[in-house]
Structure 1
Amino acid sequence: WEALWAEGQKHGACAYGTESMHVLRAEKGYIIVGQDTDGTVTPNDAALDWAVGKKKTDFVGIRGLMRPDLVAKGRKQLVGLKTKDPKVVLEEGAQIVEDPGQAIPMKMIGHVTSSYWSENCGRSIALALVAGGRDRMGKTLYVPMPNGTIEVEVTGMVFFDEKGERLNG
């Protein structure tokens, strides 16, 4: 480690842990397959349809991507969430509802897939799968918890350096 660290210092390297790596990837909206997605999430649901070849007439999976249930309106889509109180960090797996005053059992419209405190952003950030997520941008949703209901705003998935100026600069 000491030899590796000494060599790295010559090149401006820094040490970091896996939790830091998780926060950094979430700040940029980079997903973890299997955490932010599951077997039901399509590239479009994850805002990754840009990676699917539009000019290709055939490829493995093209028929599946055209199934009516996989292109239906209101599907769960990956979005960002910001808590109204920036100090509150959501629990991963927490359920999301549209109306916190509805009768129990409440209709759940999604869940938190990743959630962190971001020192770069000075606030908590989260990714979530939410029914019709992209159509809910700027809207307030609710996360009912045992100690009270947490208000969240639906946002884009990139929380830090949205325009990519640091990445591409």
Structure 2
Amino acid sequence: DTDGTVTPNDAGLDWAVGKKKTDFVGIRGLTRPDLVAKGRKQLVGLKTRDPKVVLEEGAQIVEDPKQAIPMKMIGHVSSSYWSENCGRSIALALVAGGRDRMGETLYVPMPNGVIEVEVTGMVFFDETGGRLNG
């Protein structure tokens, strides 16, 4: 779901970077202005409004499906599957300003129509941790 352009923060993994370390391979890169800029694409979860619809991996995401073509793409679906445990489709996506969009409705234009999606966290099963902590 990530590539060489995604930082630990973009992937929601900044907790894994040692904050007390003064030097390590890659530390300079993590402070570059373009790598900490507001609005970078961040990894988020997506739930389709129709739980039976499984998104296509690589599908583009837009804010306004009625905009003129070529549409302004704000992200793409990085992985998408049917989850038997959740009883619905689930997906991950890289979306501009992703974590600031929680609960927002976005759109995936496809040849057969537009698919509505909700931006969510990346935990789809036992979101509250009840099974782990119960």
- Into which bin does the TM-score normalised by the smaller protein fall? over 0.9
The Cα of 1:163 is off from its aligned counterpart by 3.2
Once the two structures are overlaid, the 10-residue window that deviates more, 115-124 or 142-151, is 115-124
Matched, 1:127 2:97: no
In structure 2, what is the Cα distance between the partners aligned to 1:88 and 1:97? 17
Deviation per residue, 1:127-168 (Å, 9 max, x gap): 000000001000000000000000000000000022334346
TM-score (norm 1): 0.77
Measure the CA separation in 2 of the matches of 1:72 and 1:100.
26
TM-score (norm 2): 0.97
1:85-124: CA deviations, max 9, x gaps? Answer: 1110000000000000100000000000010111111111
Structure 1 stretches lacking a partner, 5+ long: 1-35
Matches within 5 A, 1:45-84: 45-84=10-49
Coordinate RMSD, CA, aligned: 1.0
- Hey, what's the Cα distance between the residues in 1 that align with 2:133 and 2:20? 27
- For 2:20 and 2:128, the matched residues in 1 are separated by 27
2:116 to 127, 130, 151: 151
Which one has the largest radius of gyration? 1
Specify which structure has the higher proportion of helix: 1
Q: How many percent identity over aligned positions?
A: 93
Structure with the bigger percentage of strand: 2
Deviations 1:41-70 (A, max 9, x none): 000000000000001111110000000000
- 1:160 and 1:126 mapped to 2: Cα distance? 12
In structure 2, distance between residues paired with 1:156 and 1:65 = 23
Q: After TM superposition, where is structure 1 displaced by more than 6 Å over at least 4 residues in a row? A: none
Residue of structure 2 equivalent to 1:28: none
1:49 & 1:163 partners in 2: Cα distance?
21
Aligned residues: 134
Q: Distance in 1 between matches of 2:125 and 2:80?
A: 14
For 1:56 and 1:168, how far apart are their aligned partners in 2? 31
